[in-house]
A = this chain, B = another copy of it.
Amino acid sequence: MSTPAQRPDRRVSRTRRLLREALTSLILEKGYDAVTIEDITRRADLGRTTFYLHYRDKEHLFLESIEQSADELARQIVQIPAETLFNENGEGAGLPIALVFEHAAQNADLYRAMLRSEGSIKATSRLRELTIQYALEFTRRWWERRGLTSEPHIPLEVIAQFFAASLLGTLVWWLEAGMPYPPRQMAAFFRRLVLDGLRSVTESH
């Protein structure tokens, strides 16, 4: 997070990358639980002991992938200028959500591996945490920006949690179904559902 970045030994970054890639592909093939350390190192073409030089266990390796991917996405979202970030219509409306779906599409394998709940330990859990955290901050800023000082009828925490859960759930379904709609359209669906609710979908004939 804030080390002076003594650039790591080339062997180290290579090894770590190979291990991450091996784990992701193996999860998709046989499911998280079934993957052994030896599977990983065999696919990465590394000695089994090498694994323990870098990670305590499978979980730590996977968590690294998650944090890395979350950082990458967060960096993209942060770049959106504050003026357009909260636009509900017109330019830039829904941009953060669109970025999420596009980032997921570009890293579909990793996302699938991360979100597939069939045996993901605290990996999925961590992803949830990160999303809720982000949603909470976003919701809070949104609220403030509207000059609303009084508490909403529904606690902010509930709102943020609702947002995170529906976003992650929608992502899971979309990825597992083979991304049947393009990212932009999926983002639009989601935005409509989460902002205007189910009722609005049936009301507009």
Contact = CB atoms under 8 A, between A and B. Distances in A.
Interface of A: 33, 88, 116-122, 124-125, 128, 132, 142-143, 146, 148, 150, 152-155, 157-159, 161-166, 168-170, 172-173, 177, 189-190, 192-202, 204-205
A118 B117 CA distance: 9
Contacts of A166: 162, 165-166, 169
Contacts of A121: 33, 118-119
A19 to B, nearest CB: 20
Nearest to A124: B117
30 contacts: A116-B125, A117-B117, A117-B125, A119-B119, A119-B120, A132-B173, A146-B202, A152-B201, A153-B204, A154-B189, A154-B192, A157-B177, A158-B173, A158-B189, A158-B193, A162-B169, A162-B193, A163-B198, A164-B169, A165-B166, A165-B168, A165-B170, A166-B166, A168-B169, A193-B197, A195-B197, A195-B198, A196-B196, A196-B200, A197-B197
Contacts of A143: 202
A119 B122 contact: yes
Contact of A190 (B120, B124, B157, B162): B162
A202 B169 contact: no
Given A161-B169, A161-B173, A154 B119 contact: no
